[in-house]
Structure 1
Amino acid sequence: MQLDVGNSSAKWRLVRDGEVLVRGVYQPEDAQARDRLLSCCEQLQGIWVASVACEEAECQLATLLQQRWHVLPWFARSEAATAGLVNSYVQPMHMGVDRWLAMLGAWRRSPGRLCVVDAGSALTIDLVGMGGNHEGGYIIPGTSLMERALLMDTDRVRFAEEAAYDLAPGTSTAEAVRHGIALAQAAAVTLALQQAGEPPPRLYLCGGGAELLQRLLGGQGECLPDLVFEGLEAMAVEHGLAPPQA
């Protein structure tokens, strides 16, 4: 079993011989989601976890999984170097492991100049050079965080109607907010690619907002929803772990 754990929920998938058998979303406070996770199979050979949750949440999850399957979960952590990818952080552990694994998954697919964008609660943009060196990155509030900041910190930015994320100038408050957020997200990626220089990096997109972002970018890049999982597999292999089987 493989899990990609965020701050409020976790994506999981069950893998056998390289094939994804079943997948789902787990939220600690959702009894049905917990039951679906714990009833997905009778036995497991391994559990691999990529987590950006707090230590307490990680301990609770590890206890839940270990009690159910009697298997000690392995938690991936950002490293100074993995499989030819070199971290730019002086303290590599301070990099969110989801960023590191997304880069690693992209690097395993296509070693070379890369731009890896994870569109989730935050929008992260990371650049990788031809030789595998992380050239640096950006962390920007995602769409929901941007909207929440406007609604919380302004008195007159309020709306009840629905509006899609688009790049055209908005003709209502709802459109102005949603289109402004869309513009900021797409512009951040566009400018990061421009700043990257030559040769232009290959663009990979992952995260819950990847498809929306790709549309806003005019179809640029390749959407890979399981990129963090792919990086998790690559790191596990480097650590000599056997593939987790159902």
Structure 2
Amino acid sequence: MQLDVGNSSAKWRVVQGDTLLGRGSYREEDPVSREELLACCEQPDYIWVSSVASAEQDSALSRLLQERWNVEPWFARSEAETLGLRNSYTEPERMGVDRWLAMLAARERSRGRLCVVDAGSALTIDLVSAAGEHEGGYIIPGPDLMERALLLDTDRVRFSEASDYRLDPGCSTAQAVRHGIALAQVGAVRQALAEAGSELHLVLTGGGAAWLYDQLGRCGEFIPDLVLDGLQLQGELRAA
């Protein structure tokens, strides 16, 4: 069993070799999703976790899983080097493990220069050289965080009507806010690609990546399970 735990929810999958046996999502406060998780298989051989949640949330999840299956979960961590991917951080463990695992999986798919984008609560953009060196990256608030910050700190920016995230100029406050956020998200990726300076392969993942992939003209690859794929690579290396 493998889990990718984000800031607001988690997704899980059960695999046997290369065969996917089941998948789903989990929210700590949602009893239905909790029961689905706990009923996903009879007895896993292992439980591997990628988590960017708090230590308290990790502990609560670990207790839940151990009580159900009597298997201690293994929590992946960012490393200085894994399978030829080398971390640029002076303290490698301080890099978000979701970013590290996404880069690891992307590099297994393509050995050229990479731009790995994870569109979740935050938008992260990371560059990896063809030789496997992490060249650095960007962390940008995602759409929900951008909107929350704007509404929190501006008394007169208020709206109740619905509006989609689009790139054309908005003709109401709701549209101007949502379309501005969309412009910022897409523009950040485009500018990062321009700043990179040479041709590279774009890989997108995360809850907002399907939308972002469409807005970018469907260039590169959209891989929903990139973090879980990286978790599997690091977990198998650990278990070998």
TM-score, normalised by the number of residues in structure 1: 0.95
The alignment partner of 1:79 has SS state of coil
Q: Which amino acid aligns with 1:44?
A: P
> Equivalents in 2 of 1:36, 1:172: separation in Å?
41
Superposed CA offset, 1:63-114 (max 9, x none): 1111111111111100000001000000000000000000001001111200
Identity of aligned residues (%): 63
Residue 223 (1) aligns with residue 222 (2): yes
Contact kept, 8 Å, 1:118 with 1:205, in 2: the verdict is yes
1:149 maps to what in 2?
149
1:96 maps to what in 2?
96
Superposed CA offset, 1:152-201 (max 9, x none): 11111111111111111111111111110011001100010011112x11
Residue 235 (1) aligns with residue 234 (2): yes
TM-score, normalised by the number of residues in structure 2: 0.98
Residue 204 (1) aligns with residue 203 (2): yes
Listed as ranges, the gaps of 5+ residues in structure 2 are none
Q: Which amino acid aligns with 2:128?
A: V
Aligned length: 240
Superposed CA offset, 1:97-141 (max 9, x none): 000000001001111200000000000000000100000000000
2:113 maps to what in 1?
113
The alignment partner of 2:158 has SS state of coil
The alignment partner of 1:93 has SS state of helix
> Equivalents in 1 of 2:161, 2:218: separation in Å?
28
Bigger mean CA deviation after superposition, 231-240 or 125-134: 231-240
> Equivalents in 2 of 1:178, 1:7: separation in Å?
22
1:56 maps to what in 2?
56
Give the 5 Å matches for 1:70-219.
Answer: 70-198=70-198, 200-219=199-218
Q: Which amino acid aligns with 2:20?
A: V
Residue 39 (1) aligns with residue 35 (2): no
> Equivalents in 2 of 1:179, 1:36: separation in Å?
36
Q: Which amino acid aligns with 1:218?
A: G
> Equivalents in 2 of 1:112, 1:132: separation in Å?
9
> Equivalents in 2 of 1:62, 1:113: separation in Å?
36
> Equivalents in 2 of 1:102, 1:49: separation in Å?
14
2:8 maps to what in 1?
8
> Equivalents in 2 of 1:195, 1:208: separation in Å?
25
Listed as ranges, the gaps of 5+ residues in structure 1 are 242-246
1:244 maps to what in 2?
none
Contact kept, 8 Å, 1:182 with 1:216, in 2: the verdict is no
Contact kept, 8 Å, 1:127 with 1:134, in 2: the verdict is yes
> Equivalents in 2 of 1:177, 1:187: separation in Å?
15
**CA shift at 1:62, angstroms?**
0.9
> Equivalents in 1 of 2:200, 2:238: separation in Å?
28
**CA shift at 1:240, angstroms?**
2.7
Larger RCO, structure (CA 8 Å, separation 6 or more)? 1
> Equivalents in 2 of 1:166, 1:218: separation in Å?
13
**CA shift at 1:8, angstroms?**
2.5
The alignment partner of 1:193 has SS state of helix
**CA shift at 1:237, angstroms?**
2.1
